[in-house]
Structure 1
Amino acid sequence: MSLDSVLAAGRAAAEARMRDTVRLYEQAEDTFDRTTGTTTPGAQTTLYTGKARVKPVAQASGEDVQAADREVRLLEYQVALPWSTPLPSGKRVLPGMRIEVTASPDARMTGLILWVTGAQFSGQTTAWRITTEDRS
Structure 2
Amino acid sequence: MSNLDAVLAAGRAAAAELQRETVTLFRPGTPDFDWESGTDGSETPLVLYSGPARVKAVARSRGEEVDAGEVNVTLREYTVSLPWGIAVSDRPAVGDRVEVTASPDGRMVGLGLWVSGVEFSSTATVWRLSAEDRS
The two structures have a TM-score, normalised by structure 1, of 0.93
Identity %: 50
Corresponding position: 1:7 with 2:8? yes
Moved over 4 A (4+): none
Which residue matches 1:78? Answer: 79
Match of 2:127 in 1: 128
TM-superposed CA distance for 1:42, in Å, is: 3.2
Counterpart residue number, 1:94: 93
- What is the alpha-carbon distance in structure 2 between the residues aligned to residue 36 and residue 63 of structure 1? 39
Structure 1: segments with no counterpart, 5+ residues: none
Q: 1:66 to 1:40 in 2, by over 3 A?
A: farther
Residue 105 of structure 1 deviates from its aligned partner by 0.8
- Describe the SS at the equivalent of 1:85: coil
DSSP-derived class of the 1:13 partner: helix
Deviation at 1:32, TM superposition (A): 1.4
Q: How far 1:36 moved relative to its partner? A: 3.3
CA distance in 2 between counterparts of 1:65 and 1:33 reads: 31
68-77 or 29-38, which moves further after superposition?
29-38
Q: Which amino acid aligns with 1:49?
A: S
Q: State the shift of 1:13 in Å.
A: 0.2
RMSD: 1.3
TM superposition shift of 1:43: 1.4
Partner in structure 1 of residue 32 of structure 2: 31
Unmatched segments (≥5 aa) in structure 2: none
Counterpart code for 2:102: A
